[in-house]
Structure formats: C-alpha cells, structure tokens
Amino acid sequence: MTALEGYVRGPLIADVYAFSLIYVSIGMGFMLLRRKVLPRDKWWALFSVYVLEIVSVLIQYYYPGLLLEMFFTSLAVLMIVLMVQRPEEVVDPVVGLLSWNAYQEEMKKVTYSGHRASIVMLRFKNAYEVRSNLGEDVYSKYLVKVAGIMGLFCQQEKLSHSIYYEQSGAFFLVIDNPDYPIEGMVPMFLSKFSRQNEGFSSYWKRLEPKFCTVHYPEQVGDYATLIQFGRQFPKLMKGDQIFAKAEEIVNSRRFQVEIHMETILNRALENQSFEIHYQPIYSIKSGTFHAAEALIRLRDAEYGYVTPDIFIPAAEVSGLIHVVGNLILEKTYSFVGSSKFRKTGLEYLEVNLSVSQLMQPNLIEQIKELQFRYNVDPSRINFEVTETEYDDEAETMERNIEQLVEMGYSFSLDDYGTGYSNIRRVLSLPLKIIKIDKSLVDDMDTEKGITVLANTIGMMKEIKMELVVEGVENKAQLDALTSMGADYIQGYYFSKPLTEDEFVQFIMESSHETKRNFMSMDWYQDSLAGTRPLSPEDMPESQKRRR
C-alpha cells in the first residue's frame, strides 16, 4: 500500500504467484487423489475453484487494469457455500444438530483418509411411535436434551467430538480420539440420564434406547457396513439389552446374513431356490382343515435357511420385492389352479401381500393375467395385508384392495395386535378375516393376557369379522380359544408349514381319517348341530405325528 497510489503490485508479486502456483498444484493433486471422499457434484464445485482462480490470474496478468482476482475469489467462496457446505444438508432442520448426511460424509472422509474413529451409537427402537404420541415439538426438544447431556459429558472429559442425528431416531457420537475407551461412556450416560428430573426419565423409559460402541474400522470393516450397522444394530440386540459392543453383533450369523442379503436374494433368484410352504388352518366349527397359508422359504448354499422375516423387508428396501412377489404369486396361483389343490377340497389359500406389492401399479393386471392363465376363481384366494406407516401409501393400498375386492378377492388383516395392525385399519379396510398375532397367544399364560384376548375376539365377532388365531402350539391354548369363540386356528399344534407334496398328503390323510372318525362317533351329530365343537383330541394319528 502506498500513500499515493493505494494498493500496488510491487516486484514481490512474482513470489506471491510462485507460492500460489505451489499451493494450487498441491491442492489439485490432493483433490485428484481423494476423488472418492466427496460426492461428484461437490468435488467438481471445489475443483473448479482452482480453475476459476487460474483463469482470473491469467486474465489479470495480461490486463492488469481489470482487478478480477478478488472478484473471482468471491465467486469461488460463494460456490463453496452453496454447493459444498450447504448448511441445510449438514444441520438437521428439526433438532438443529449435525445431520445424518454430515455423518456419512465424515465417515467417508475417515475411511478414505485411512483414519480411525470411535463411535457411540444410540438408537431409539420405537422412535416412530413415540414421536407420533408426543408430537414433533415435544419429541424434538427431548432429543436435543439427550444430545445436550452426552455433549456436556464429552466437554467435561475434554474430548473432541461431534454428535450427529438421524431422523428416524438415532444419535452418532463420534470421538476424534480412536483409542478412547468409549465402552465406559455408556454406563456414565445411563447414570446421567437416570439422574435427570421426573419428566425426562418418563420419556426415556418409553423410548427403548439401544446403545452400541464401535471402533472403526477395526470392528466394522468398511464404510457400507458401518452405515448399515448404524441402522440395524438394535434389531440384533436382545429384547431387554440396552448396551452392546460392535464385535458381539458383527460376528453374529444374523448380521452377516443382513449385510449379504442382496447377494443372497440375487443368488436365490438365479438358482430358483425359493420355495412356498403351506401351513394348514383348522376350522373349529367344521373340525377340518378348510384353508392354508402360503409361506415363502429361502435356503442359501452359504448361509443356510433364511427366514422371510429377514429377507422380505430386505427385498422391499432393495426393490427386489417385485421379482420375489411375482414369483410368490406365480407359484401360489399355479398351485391353486392345479388338480392337486382341488383334490384337497380346501376352500381357499391365504397369500401374504407386502405393502410394496400392493403399491405396484400393475398389480391388478398381473393378477387378472394369472387368474386367467391358471383358471383360478378369486374366491379361492384370500390376501393377507398389514399396516403401512405412510398415509399416502395407505391411500393407494386401499384403492388397490377395493379393486381386488370388486373382482371377488377377500382380505385378511395379518398380525393384529402388533404395531403393524390396529383397530383403525380394521375399520378402514374391506376385510373379511382378522388374524390375531402369535404374541397375543403367547400372553395367554397371564390373566391380563387372557382378558385382552377374550375381549379382542368378542369385539371382532361383534363387528362380524371372521377370526384366525395364529401361533397356537398346545391343546390348552386351543381349548381356551375355542371357548372364546375363535373361528379358525393356525399353529404348530396342528402342523408346521409343509412342502407342497407333504401338505397335500397331510390334508388328504387328515380328511380321510376325519371322515372315518366322524361316521363312527356320536359327537359327530352334536357337532353338526353346533352344540359341541370338534376337539383336536380326536385328531387322527397322522396329524399328531407332525406336531
């Protein structure tokens, strides 16, 4: 700066340029090496900052009168703020903490720069329900408080840390010091939470907290696994377990299956290793098996038997559910249309339809086509549905269900009494059957459980629903349910799900023997008159063997 001319470029400007050249070269080289750390658009936004700077320097060099460098620098800074830092992406708009996006980016940086991190994960297992009970406002304030308590503890311990929040109800506390014994932090947090006021702890108990500590990457191999781990670890912990260490979960077969699900599903589709098994449903009134439920099975060469509880939700997430769903429909229609099924004399087959299948735009056409190809009467199929979390999905679902009902199909609400099916659905859908979930049957060993079940059955009968009770495993349960007025029983007491051939044989044998037994017994007349329900005591030997 001179008094006369103000800001001037003296002879040392050459040095400034030389240093800039070194700085820009190192910067560009570094960015080229670490291409994977940033998403493509952000990488290009940052990289073009260097290009802009070089262009501006060149222009200004040839036209020193145009003071362009400052202008271009401002442009570059603006671009970084808009494209790279994007505050709305880095900060969660509701709770004001660092966002899930920011967590993912941070973990990518840790991964690709070869660094390590210690992470304490906290996920509320039932956050969705609690949020809808408490309302967004109270819930968010509560979460901010939870994060505040953890943050304060880290500050007191002088730990450099960041807390990220994921909207489905999870916190990720990342400690920069990879060797810090984070396992000891969870009991400290728990004791701090328990010492809060009454209001705080009443919510805390409702939220079903699950903690997990992770040393990354030592315990959880790579970035993709780490992200998946953060979502799934609570499912892999025991019901009442609050705290687990990553190694306990990572080595479990269940987690290995979860992370290799995509491979397992593709392999099963390729090798056609899906099978449909059938579980008979017993009618108390007629004393025979009048229907069955189709249940899909997958046996993988490497991981063995994988339950549908695991692979159906995974297939929904990956989009493969459409292929799997088509396969289920194809196989069940082909069975119902076959002479084998006719021989069994069963009234109908129950087929599970997942939410994503019900959202499929071409579902109706597909069903019409199958119905025609296998010559299946719609009254022979009853679809089982559960609840969806999302209102706009519920609308599409309801439209599809109504259309199928018009075509002559009937519907059951599956898993009644769990978080997935509730009374609102019973009232809003054109249902014929309610399937009471096994968990309610399991509660029958307490007086409260019996009261709930008896009243549920009573209420459903009063609104003219047919009732299937699932998961019946012993005679005591069957007798109690019979006296409560249940219509149909499904459970291991009668039979586990069987392969197609086993199933047909089972039904044929049982119907022969039932007829024979019926004709020779007095109570057959009583049961026809409806004064005495048939008891499974009198079941033929062939059925008892399979239990």
Binding site for ligand C2E (CB under 6 A): 279, 294-296, 307-309, 312, 328, 352, 354, 384, 414-415, 438, 470-473, 490-492, 497
354 makes contact, choosing from Mg ion, ligand C2E, none, with CB < 5 to 8 Å by partner type, with ligand C2E
Please give the structure tokens belonging to residue 147: 């994060």
Strand-pair partners of 297: 275
Which C-beta is closer to ligand C2E: that of 170 or that of 507? 507
99 makes contact, choosing from ligand C2E, Mg ion, none, with CB < 5 to 8 Å by partner type, with none
Q: Is 524 within 8 Å of 518 (Cβ atoms)?
A: yes
User: How far apart are the two ends of the chain, measured CA to CA in Å?
Assistant: 95
- Shortest distance, position 534 Cβ to ligand C2E, whole Å: 19
471 makes contact, choosing from Mg ion, ligand C2E, none, with CB < 5 to 8 Å by partner type, with ligand C2E
Cα 447 to Cα 279: distance, rounded to the nearest angstrom: 29
105 makes contact, choosing from ligand C2E, Mg ion, none, with CB < 5 to 8 Å by partner type, with none
Which C-beta is closer to ligand C2E: that of 90 or that of 327? 327
Which C-beta is closer to Mg ion: that of 102 or that of 328? 328
Please give the structure tokens belonging to residue 287: 């004393």
DSSP track, 419-464:
TT--HHHHHHS--SEEEE-HHHHHGGGSHHHHHHHHHHHHHHHHTT
Query: Can the peptide bond before residue 430 be classed as cis, meaning omega within 30 degrees of 0?
Result: no
Which C-beta is closer to ligand C2E: that of 259 or that of 281? 281
- Shortest distance, position 273 Cβ to ligand C2E, whole Å: 15
382 makes contact, choosing from ligand C2E, Mg ion, none, with CB < 5 to 8 Å by partner type, with none
473 makes contact, choosing from ligand C2E, Mg ion, none, with CB < 5 to 8 Å by partner type, with ligand C2E
Which C-beta is closer to ligand C2E: that of 210 or that of 435? 435
Q: Is 487 within 8 Å of 494 (Cβ atoms)?
A: no
394 makes contact, choosing from Mg ion, ligand C2E, none, with CB < 5 to 8 Å by partner type, with none
Which C-beta is closer to ligand C2E: that of 302 or that of 442? 442
Residues at the contact surface with Mg ion, assessed by CB under 5 A = 352, 384, 414-415
Cα 419 to Cα 76: distance, rounded to the nearest angstrom: 51
492 makes contact, choosing from Mg ion, ligand C2E, none, with CB < 5 to 8 Å by partner type, with ligand C2E
- Shortest distance, position 420 Cβ to Mg ion, whole Å: 9
Q: Is 332 exposed, middle or buried, given 0-12, 13-18 or 19+ CB atoms closer than 10 A?
A: buried
Q: What is the CA radius of gyration of the chain?
A: 32
Which C-beta is closer to ligand C2E: that of 169 or that of 280? 280
- Shortest distance, position 491 Cβ to ligand C2E, whole Å: 3
- Shortest distance, position 372 Cβ to ligand C2E, whole Å: 22
Can you tell me whether residue 76 is helix, strand or coil?
helix
- Shortest distance, position 141 Cβ to Mg ion, whole Å: 37
417 makes contact, choosing from ligand C2E, Mg ion, none, with CB < 5 to 8 Å by partner type, with none
- Shortest distance, position 293 Cβ to ligand C2E, whole Å: 6
Which C-beta is closer to ligand C2E: that of 212 or that of 401? 401
- Shortest distance, position 398 Cβ to ligand C2E, whole Å: 18
Looking up tokens 């007629």 gives: 286
Alpha helix (H) residue ranges in 120-197 = 127-134, 136-156, 185-194
Which C-beta is closer to ligand C2E: that of 415 or that of 466? 415
Exposure letters 153-180 (e unless 16+ CB within 10 A, then b): bbeeeebebbbbbbeebbbbbbbeebeb
Can you tell me whether residue 298 is helix, strand or coil?
strand
- Shortest distance, position 495 Cβ to ligand C2E, whole Å: 9
> Phi then psi for 21, rounded to 5 degrees?
-60, -45
Do β-strands 288-300 and 274-283 pair in parallel, antiparallel, or remain unpaired?
A: antiparallel
SS (H, E, C) 195-229: CCCHHHHHHHHHCCEEEEEEEECCCCCCHHHHHHH
